[in-house]
Structure 1
């Protein structure tokens, strides 16, 4: 029942700005630790071993923090921390903001989508802005909502905190760049492992809610994706909304030659399709809430 209450609390309040303007968000604190470790240890030799050490420290520290909170502070604290570490409301709000901005102007849409994606946005046309927003919705629904819920259910608050710590490390150092390819290797690989099951569950939930597409087609598109996990929710979203996603994208001035996901879907898309993606986020969230509630009862 604590998981369901955390879901409801997150859905109602999200991340109140007035709170996090005054105290640091737990994810920010985790990020500071990772940033300090990156500066302190990511140099010289044995970078991969140092990265493994960082991962072990994050897992041990996250598990210990969860155990202490559960044992000493009780279920109310577990619900509050769980709600803070889930991201449904904030994800839906950020994606909706892109649609609202795009309706004002293309420039506003580019500026807003740049806040939630890592690709180049300066030359995007309207369909590219919409695709980026929808892809962000799909991928972040998997690793910001479903995966944390999965590990919360499987291993309680320690599982949730460990997942968030590893996912934050992957987002900060898990890149194949000269600086981070070795140091971030362990975090990236472990994040892939922790997201393997949740990514596929996310795709299945989307398919159940929309009733659109075939599992075989989702599987085929997901396996062509550069990520072992992100392609699953992206492929399911593409079919659920009947849009083409991915395709060529620019990162740091270099154009990638990625294939389209659901290439038969609509390619001329805009704010309306982004809003449809937000609605789909909430429809799948509702199904998950019902399932979690039934699990709590039985």
Structure 2
């Protein structure tokens, strides 16, 4: 029951307070991660560039060794960034085990700092509201805050698609995965997950600077998200029954998830798009280059309402998770 109380406390804090505007611990962690990256990646990051016509044969032969060195350095950076803080979280949890009420409060605060439920919904509403009113400039400005694609020339459907994709995918990353690891491993579980997910967001790019250095962070984040992503996809599928789209969600998850570049985002986004009856993916522009991505879901092109539907799906799925958590807690107490 302590677990349920801590989760409800964290969600209540998130709902009423939103994301901390100042002194968020992840900001300080980001500065630490930047320092580690500059220390361990800087001296050899240029060697991760692909050999080109101007590279001599010695450099070409040495490239695999240098790239492996970058992977090892990235693994070291991951361990240095996450290991000590994860151990500190474990030590605190053990210390607070003797003080039930204080332990629940502290656990709830840590979980609150690790989730992004309210901020996700707020960002989405900041896009859907002006989009529904026909204010594309405001909608473009709002969507640019949560996606990495080029947004300056997006039309109504493209804005809605970008926002819907972000809500569905980040519902897993910012909420359900954090809840999962809190349930499985308490305070250290959610701390390790959130820090690792932050490192993946910072280092997980497939560009010359991070292709090899960020490999360990990206793979570890994939591992931590594997089960919760599929539980999220299952929740999206079941909650699709509210719109009569459960079959659509299941078929989309089953047939389309493997086509997506991310092994965890694929199931989540396919099931989510199917559950709200829209089609996402397809063409998108990143840094001036068009990328043709696989299509996920089935139905009509996204509109402003699709963003709100995606938010509702996240909320319904959260309610389902809470019901299941309570049921398991009650059963476990018998």
TM-score range (shorter-chain normalised) is over 0.9
How has the CA–CA distance of structure 1 residues 72 and 19 changed in structure 2, closer, same or farther, with 3 Å as cutoff? farther
TM-aligned CA deviation for residue 209 of structure 1: 1.3
How has the CA–CA distance of structure 1 residues 3 and 138 changed in structure 2, closer, same or farther, with 3 Å as cutoff? farther
Once residues 149 and 78 of structure 2 are traced to their aligned partners in structure 1, the CA distance between those partners, rounded to angstroms, is 27
Which deviates more from structure 2 when the two are superposed, residues 209-218 or residues 233-242? Answer: 209-218
Counterparts of 1:34-183 in structure 2, within 5 Å, are 34-45=33-44, 46-73=69-96, 74-104=103-133, 105-183=135-213
Which deviates more from structure 2 when the two are superposed, residues 208-217 or residues 194-203? Answer: 208-217
Structure 2 match to 1:223: 258
Unmatched segments (≥5 aa) in structure 2: 45-68, 97-102
TM-aligned CA deviation for residue 69 of structure 1: 2.5
Bigger CA radius of gyration: 2
Contact 1:2 1:79 in 2 (8 A): no
How has the CA–CA distance of structure 1 residues 216 and 275 changed in structure 2, closer, same or farther, with 3 Å as cutoff? closer
Secondary structure at 2:152's aligned position in 1? coil
Q: What is the root-mean-square deviation in Å for CA atoms of aligned residues? A: 1.9
TM-aligned CA deviation for residue 101 of structure 1: 2.6
Higher relative contact order (CA 8 A, sep 6+): 1
TM-aligned CA deviation for residue 9 of structure 1: 3.3
Contact 2:222 2:264 in 1 (8 A): yes
Q: How many residues align?
A: 295
TM-aligned CA deviation for residue 43 of structure 1: 2.1
Structure 1 match to 2:12: 12
Structure 1 match to 2:326: 293
TM-aligned CA deviation for residue 291 of structure 1: 1.2
TM-aligned CA deviation for residue 15 of structure 1: 7.4
How has the CA–CA distance of structure 1 residues 12 and 253 changed in structure 2, closer, same or farther, with 3 Å as cutoff? same
Once residues 216 and 240 of structure 1 are traced to their aligned partners in structure 2, the CA distance between those partners, rounded to angstroms, is 10
TM-aligned CA deviation for residue 2 of structure 1: 4.2
Once residues 286 and 152 of structure 1 are traced to their aligned partners in structure 2, the CA distance between those partners, rounded to angstroms, is 17
Contact 1:6 1:83 in 2 (8 A): no
Structure 2 match to 1:190: 220
Once residues 100 and 2 of structure 1 are traced to their aligned partners in structure 2, the CA distance between those partners, rounded to angstroms, is 38
- What's the CA shift string for 1:247-298, capped at 9, x where partnerless? 1111111110112212x4101x322121111111111111111111222222
How has the CA–CA distance of structure 1 residues 90 and 248 changed in structure 2, closer, same or farther, with 3 Å as cutoff? same
Contact 1:34 1:169 in 2 (8 A): yes
TM-aligned CA deviation for residue 8 of structure 1: 2.6
Contact 1:138 1:233 in 2 (8 A): yes
Contact 1:10 1:88 in 2 (8 A): no
Secondary structure at 2:151's aligned position in 1? coil
